[in-house]
Amino acid sequence: MSTLHTVNKSSYDRNTLETCVSLTTKGSEVILIEDGVYSAVKAGNKASLIANAMGDVNFYVLGPDLKARGLNESQLIDGIKVVGYSDFVELSVKNDKVSSWL
C-alpha cells in the first residue's frame, strides 16, 4: 500500500525523520514540511539520512516552507524535488494513505 509520509520537525532537533525513513517500504514518498525542510540541506551532517534512502524513497520539500526559512533549491540534497501546495495535495491523494510524523 503506497504511503506519503509528512515530517514537520528538523532532524537536528528530533529523530522523526530518522525513524520515518527506517520504517518506510520501497516506493514510499516523504515530504518535508515546516521545520522538516532543514533536513534537506546538502551541507548538513544529517544529510546522509536522506541521501542513503534516495534510491528506495522519493523525497519532496514544500517550497513555501523552504522559502520562508531563507533556503533555496541549490542548497538541497540532489534528487529532492521542491513542490508547491497543489503538488502536496496531489501527492496526498495519489497515495493510499498519509502518515503524519509528529
Partner 1 sequence: MSEIKKFCYLNRTAPYGTVYAWESLEVVLIGAAFDQDCSLVFVDDGVYQLIKGQDTTDLGIKNFSPTYSALGDYDIKKIYVEKESLEARGLTLDDLQHLVWEDEDEDWAERDSIILVTKDELAKVIDEQDVVLSF
Among 46, 51, 87, 101, binds partner 1 (CB under 8 A): 101
Place of cell 523525497: 59
In this complex, which beta carbon is closest to partner 1, that of residue 22 or of residue 75?
22
Binding-site member from 12, 25, 72, 85 for partner 1 (CB under 8 A): 25
Give the C-alpha separation, 53 to 74, whole Å.
20
Q: Is 95 in the site for partner 1 (CB under 8 A)?
A: no
Binding site for partner 1 (CB under 8 A): 1, 3, 15-16, 19, 22-25, 96-97, 99-102
